[in-house]
Structure 1
Amino acid sequence: MTLDNDKQIVMALGQSLRAARKKKNLTIEQLANQSEVSSITISNIENGKSNPTVSILWKLADTLNINLSKLLGYTSPKATISRLTDRPFISELESGWLVQPVFQEDNIDVFRVRLCAQSSYLMTTQFKHSTEIITVMKGKLILKVADNSYDLDEYDSINFNSGLPHEYINETSEEILISIVVKYQNI
């Protein structure tokens, strides 16, 4: 996934990553070893020279023990309206997965997700001890969690351990809209 906006957003992400890493008193090399993300990639992100994938961002957030939204620099004051045009989507064009941070509150992240027609997205790296709650807002989603498969129709919801490998699949000819809430443990 690449950030779907200009250099300013990439620079802000880099500053946020550097601040989170320094708050944990980690060097780039230590963060690289713990997160299994190369030190070159981390350095490039911190210096605004890289549009990281969401998988890389999850690895870094997990290692730093912070919410993904917080790493992306999104925080929500009380009683806030989040409009579709307020924040950019993070996209991975080759998989058809677009995710937009909506709210971040302590140990909860809320995301809007668009999954393009005839596409899928495999999530192998996410917080090990977190719960994901999905509601399909438009379309039909097939969700595979570990060895189980679930067919979800419009307005169906499911919750599961998001530390398990899971895949979002859209076999239809229409885009799917999903609301995702991630509740983190031990953050």
Structure 2
Amino acid sequence: MADEGAPISPLSENLKVWRQRRGLSLSALAAKAGLSKSVVSELERGNGNPSLDTLWSLARSLNISLGSFFEEPGGKPEVELLRLDDAPIMVQEGDHFRAQLLSLWRPTGEVELCVMIFGDRAKRNSEGNAPGIIERVLCVEGRVRVGTDLDSAELDPGDMFTFPADRPHFYHALGGPARLVTVQQYPEHS
């Protein structure tokens, strides 16, 4: 049996945490976001189904990203595989629109965004990048195996794999052409 006082989703817990971090009462946040106090209160209790506009109003009022509401408590693992089917739904409006959170991170240093296009069964090996670089690979099209000798995963469209890119790693299109989006996060310069 679930604890009645426990939030039912990261949204309710994170909304309350961010409101308190900003030193806002329920009434003050509601007024700032142009919402009723009861709407904010219900969301913090895990009740309600907020629209995207409501979530954006709250995020803007708290000066946070929309994804901050859906981040699971605790730190991020060094290696992470996220399947699109398992990504939390931030907003769904019938069958016409759905937004799912694949990742949220607070970058330090520079971030580089690339598109990689692979022919049928093409392979790409990397000797490894500079120390401290983290890479996030999102499969957009096709099927690929990505990773290092220690940690790798097969990705379908919508799946994302995160790993330390400062060691040798590879990309391998499996049975057809593939397209990836990669985000490399460089450490902050000292």
Q: Tell me which interval the TM-score lies in, with the shorter structure as reference length.
A: 0.3 to 0.5
Max Rg structure:
2
Normalised by the size of structure 2, how large is the TM-score? Answer: 0.47
Higher strand share: 1
Normalised by the size of structure 1, how large is the TM-score? Answer: 0.48
